[in-house]
Amino acid sequence: GENVEQHPSTLSVQEGDSAVIKCTYSDSASNYFPWYKQELGKRPQLIIDIRSNVGEKKDQRIAVTLNKTAKHFSLHITETQPEDSAVYFCAASGPSSYKLIFGSGTRLLVRP
């Protein structure tokens, strides 16, 4: 089955700097890759997703890139703000799978 690895597990950046979180997946058939943000004690919220027919997607300060050949995808947050501090999860799903498999999460701390 699908396995998703995520790193780093923790990331601390200065406000205004960029943050990058990387994930790799094992199943080459996977074609849907969402990213979730979870604040303390809250539910994970979808912030951006990408499908395998595109290599990059942007939404304001957030972007995701996908390298199908290498089977990895990354979340990029530019001009980080303290409210970006949270745990971020990547996930992957295949075309014939009902399951969304998550990475282990990255705790991002943005220092004011």
> Cα(70)–Cα(67) distance, rounded to whole angstroms?
6
Going by C-alpha positions, the residue among 86, 81, 88 that lies closest to residue 103 is 88
DSSP calls for 20-50:
EEEEEES-TT--EEEEEEE-TTS--EEEEEE
Residue range at the interface with another protein (CB under 8 A); choices 54-62, 67-75, 77-85, 88-96 = 88-96
Which of residues 37, 85, 93, 110 is near another protein by CB under 8 A?
Answer: 93
> Cα(12)–Cα(18) distance, rounded to whole angstroms?
10
Which of residues 27, 47, 102, 109 is near another protein by CB under 8 A?
Answer: 102
Which of residues 72, 76, 97, 109 is near another protein by CB under 8 A?
Answer: 97
Answer yes or no whether residue 100 interacts with another protein by CB under 8 A. Answer: yes
19 vs 92, beta carbon nearer another protein? 92
Question: Which residues of this protein are in contact with another protein, per CB under 8 A?
Answer: 31-32, 34, 41-46, 49, 51, 89, 91, 93-105
